Amino acid sequence: MLILLPPSEGKTAPTRGKPLDLSALAHPSLTDVRRRVVEALVTTSQRPDAAAILGIGHTQLDLLDHNRDLESAPTARADRVYTGVLYDALGFDSLSPAARRRSATRVAIVSSVFGLVRPTDRIPAYRLSGDASLPVLGSVAGAWRDVLGGAVRESLGDGLLVDLRSGTYTAFWRPPADLARRVATVRVLHESGGRRTVVSHFNKATKGRLVRALLEDGRNPRTPAALARALRDLGWHVEDSPAGPRGTQLDVVVDTPLG
């Protein structure tokens, strides 16, 4: 099983650690594109109009410093750099030792700068949205579209792909039809007063808790149906849809507030 996560907009900037070493990251097939994106982001962040290009508000201009220093800034494990609702709910740092070992091989994070990142990969903090376009690079999603699939397939092997990416990051790579029977996507629905809606906070928090539960449980489902059964066994309300050309959608229904 390979669980694909989106990155977080918020990141904890490491204060100590070795500088970025692209050759040390997992998936060396991505190194050339990583280098191009890093160079493009550093160059763009030095421009006087960098904030406008990168969609950074006037109260967040310090984020440009992270980008400018990308190649020399301290790094830390990705599971300590990414923060936010999903990552807080997942809680990498409080996983059991066995679950944390599983996360190293069963979790990958889709990154606008590094393509595919493992929890143990050492990265610096950065700011680059997945829907951005850089003057010397073009669309970030376009830069990754031709190469990301190979890295995902390499990690996936013959297992199940659990795709929890947000819409922005699905544009980086879409599973082809030949993988459909081994792809499960998850939609989180908040039920209140008989109505079901998609609410960002519940969506992110629930996905984080789902990943945590799967890592702690240790099961390795190989089909969407087996994943649905595993989640139900773990206490989730799961409704599955018929398989489509992109995989099987599982609806997880949350009807109580998440703390």
Tens digit of pLDDT for each residue in 52-103? 999 998 778 888 999 999 999 999 999 999 999 999 999 999 999 999 999 9
What would the two tokens of residue 119 be? 């929890």
Burial letters 197-217, b for 16+ CB under 10 A, else e: eeeeebbbbbbbbbbbbbbee
Average pLDDT of the chain, as a whole number: 94
Task: Answer whether residue 189 shows pLDDT above 50.
Answer: yes
End-to-end CA gap in the chain: 28
Torsion of CA 113, 121, 219, 203, to 10 degrees: -40
Task: Answer whether residue 166 shows pLDDT above 50.
Answer: yes
User: What's the Cα-to-Cα distance from 150 to each of 29, 92, 137, 166, 247, rounded to whole Å?
Assistant: 8, 26, 21, 20, 18
| Arithmetic mean of pLDDT, 189-215 | 89
Task: Answer whether residue 259 shows pLDDT above 50.
Answer: no
Task: Answer whether residue 113 shows pLDDT above 90.
Answer: yes
Parallel, antiparallel or unpaired: strands 138-139 and 133-134: antiparallel
Task: Answer whether residue 258 shows pLDDT above 60.
Answer: no
CB 180 within 8 A of CB 243: yes
Distance CA 191, CA 239 (A): 13
Distance CA 227, CA 224 (A): 5
Among residues 62, 22, 71, the alpha carbon closest in space to that of 43 is found at 71
| Arithmetic mean of pLDDT, 159-173 | 95
CB 33 within 8 A of CB 115: yes
User: What's the Cα-to-Cα distance from 225 to each of 78, 111, 181, rounded to whole Å?
Assistant: 30, 28, 10
- Nearby residues of 39 by Cβ (< 8 Å), 6 or more positions away: 136
What would the two tokens of residue 249 be? 């959608």
